[in-house]
Amino acid sequence: MIYMLREPVVAGMFYERDAPALKKHISKYIIQKQEKYKSKAVVVPHAGYIYSGRVAGEVYSSIEIPDLIIILGPNHTGAGKPISVMTEGIWRTPFGDVKINEPLANEIIKKCSAASKDDRAHLKEHSVEVQLPFLQYIKKSFSFIPVVLGDYNINNLQIFAGALAQIFKEKDVLIVASTDLTHYEDADSAKEKDTLVLKAIEKLDEEEMIKQVEDKDISMCGWMPTYVAIRAAKLLGATKGIIIKYMNSGDASGDYSQVVGYGGAAII
């Protein structure tokens, strides 16, 4: 059988193209923890690893990673459908190939009228791709379902979250919401705004999160993935959010005048 192969588009930019160098880089961010959360979902940033890798690494170090993962990313390119599910193929990274779970991806299309089978939104989108090397570093074998969200219709996001909960209620699955927080404000302003978002995530209040994003004009690129992840996780039995780490790009660059905020959370 011939599978569609998605080659990495930000290897050599967001993270190393060379596998040994990438492994060495990620190893700096992985923490050995005795106890790990059994999470329904996580919130993880998606910038270049030198900026957001420490947050991503601590999140992934803090949780059990199952054999099945759904990665929800925002649509930065504008290509494809509003709720775009890639239902077949293989994604390649410097660490090797990861196969899409085709039966379950197609089940989403079958049971959710708001979702579309679509590859275009995924071909140049980095927000899903950058999660894979971290997951591969920790867990050698898993299947995943990539989803890119660009649907501003809250009702559709609710329908999609409900469909995920229905399909995966009997399965051991992790939902990854890929998002950065405030973009290009000074560090103090970013932290003030991002704290409002993180408090809403901690309370598992996705409606409050959206209200803060709108009222305070918070430039959180992945509010849709985070909204869906919180809502689906609650339907799957999650009862609380745990904020694991917060940093900004200035912590790496030394420039705090215009930063991007990065928050990591586990939803358990």
Q: Give the whole-angstrom CA distance, residue 119 versus residue 77.
A: 13
What CATH number has the domain bearing residue 65?
A: 3.40.830.10
- pLDDT of residue 3 exceeding 80, the answer is no
Q: Please, which pLDDT band fits residue 70 given cuts at 50, 70 and 90?
A: very high
- Strand 143-149 relative to strand 5-6, pairing: unpaired
pLDDT at 34: 82
pLDDT higher than threshold 70 for residue 80: yes
Ramachandran angles phi, psi of 267, nearest 5°: -115, 115
Q: What is the mean pLDDT of residues 62-82?
A: 98
**Residue 9: per-residue pLDDT:** 98
Taking residues 4-9, report their average pLDDT: 97
The label of the residue with tokens 């588009």 reads: 9
Residue 2 exposed, middle or buried by CB count within 10 Å (0-12, 13-18, 19+): exposed
CA within 13 Å, CB half, 114: 21
pLDDT at 1: 59
Q: Using 50, 70 and 90 to split pLDDT, how confident is the model at 220?
A: very high
pLDDT, tens digit, 9 for 90 and up, residues 106-163: 999 999 999 999 999 999 999 999 999 999 999 999 999 999 999 999 999 999 999 9
Q: What does pTM read for this prediction? A: 0.98
Domain that holds residue 165: 5-267
Position 182 scores a pLDDT of 98
Pairing of strands 41-44, 5-6: unpaired
Mean pLDDT, residues 183-210 taken together: 99
Q: Does residue 183 carry a pLDDT above 90?
A: yes
pLDDT beyond 70 at 224: yes
Percent of the chain with pLDDT over 70: 99
- Is residue 2 pLDDT above 70, yes or no? no
Q: What is the mean pLDDT of the chain?
A: 98
For residue 181, pLDDT beyond 70: yes
The residue-averaged pLDDT of 161-182 equals: 98
SS3 track for 150-173: CCCCHHHHHHHHHHHHHHHCCCCE
Mean pLDDT (whole number) for 221-234: 99
Q: What is the pLDDT of residues 230-241, one digit of tens each?
A: 999 999 999 999
State yes or no: pLDDT of 94 exceeds 70. Answer: yes
Quick check: 240 and 204 in contact, CB under 8 A? yes
Q: Report the number of distinct structural domains present in the chain.
A: 1
